[in-house]
Amino acid sequence: MNIELLYIKDCLNFKKARRLIHDTAKSLGLNIPLRKIEIKEEDDSKKYSFPGSPTIRINGVDIEPETANTIGLTCRIYSNGTGLPDREILRCKIARASGIKTVLFICTGNAVRSQIAEAMVNHFLKDRWVAFSAGIIPMEVNKDVIRVMKEIGIDISRSKSKSVDLFTNCSFDRIITLCSDADRFCLNYPDYNEKDTIVFHDPISSGFGFGQIPLLKRLRDDIKKTILTHLKNS
């Protein structure tokens, strides 16, 4: 796999982009050489079809082609409104390019079920799968979910809820929806090879209220048993 970082020397985000690439590859257990290309003049911009600094390409393909529609010696703004691509997008595309299997879990709010499933896979199956999660209507990650996951040694306190739209231009080996609402209301799934629906009851959004620790523990354990077995057999 070939990763290129194209930049302008005085770009404030160059070092941040370099660190982002390094940290993301490391989180996947990969040690990938990074080719840094300095864009010095307009001729370089044209030669490399340079849309702005910093630009990251994996095997010659821009990390975010939808924002790579100009050429010139300028700073680049990504779809998240910053000068760096989203970490989850980079992680997904590096994983895919390196041949690691990827799975995206989708539920309504990305606050309970899909967060648990993502964390379980990344903890117990990290040698075989890289997991991601998203919601149709993203909500804050439930604090009691963080608590019951911490009880089994998995820290998701820094996890953020994400919209499924974030992954529009990504592709996955497998998408697994964890509630019927996802299949009813999610009209535009990211690209995938296979798709499954495995429904789990959510004690929080179903009206039982917050603080239902025993119910969340049961949900946690059900997701662990079902999802890990499902992916191990895939």
Report the pLDDT averaged over residues 20-26: 97
- Which of the residue ranges 29-43, 97-111, 125-139, 201-215 would you say has the lowest mean pLDDT? 201-215
Which of these ranges, 107-111, 167-171, 187-191, 226-230, has the smallest mean pLDDT? 187-191
What confidence score (pLDDT) does residue 207 get?
54
73 contact partners, CB below 8 Å, separation of at least 6: 8, 39, 41, 42, 45, 50
Q: Convert the pLDDT of each residue in 170-206 to its tens digit.
A: 999 999 999 988 777 776 899 999 999 999 988 876 5
Higher pLDDT, 210 or 46: 46
Cα–Cα distances in Å, from 218 out to 145, 161, 215, 224, 229?
11, 22, 5, 10, 17
Residue type, 123: H
- Say what percent of the chain tops pLDDT 70: 96
Query: CA neighbours within 13 Å on the CB side: how many for 94?
Result: 26
The predicted structure's pLDDT at residue 91: 97
If one counts every other C-beta atom within 10 angstroms of the C-beta of residue 136, the result is: 20
Q: What is the DSSP letter of 118?
A: H
Average confidence (pLDDT) over 219-232: 96
- Average pLDDT estimate for 78-104: 96
Residue 45 has pLDDT above 90, yes or no: yes
pTM over 0.75: yes
Residue with tokens 């989180």: 27
- Specify burial of residue 195 (Cβ count, 10 A radius: 0-12, 13-18, 19+): middle
Domain with CATH 3.40.50.2300 in the chain: 100-232
The separation between CA 51 and the C-alpha centre of its own chain, rounded to angstroms, equals 23
pLDDT score recorded for residue 205:
64
Which are the catalytic amino acids? 107, 179, 186
The pLDDT confidence band at residue 209, using thresholds 50, 70 and 90, is: low
CATH 3.40.30 boundaries in the chain: 3-86
Task: Looking at the structure, give the CATH architecture of the domain made up of residues 3-86.
Answer: 3-Layer(aba) Sandwich (3.40)
* pLDDT at residue 166, rounded to an integer: 95
CB contact at 8 A, 1 and 12: no
**How far is Cα 1 from Cα 58, in angstroms, rounded to an integer?**
7
**Residues β-bridged to residue 163:** 135
Domain 100-232 -> CATH class: alpha beta
- C-alpha span between 48 and 39 (Å, rounded): 8
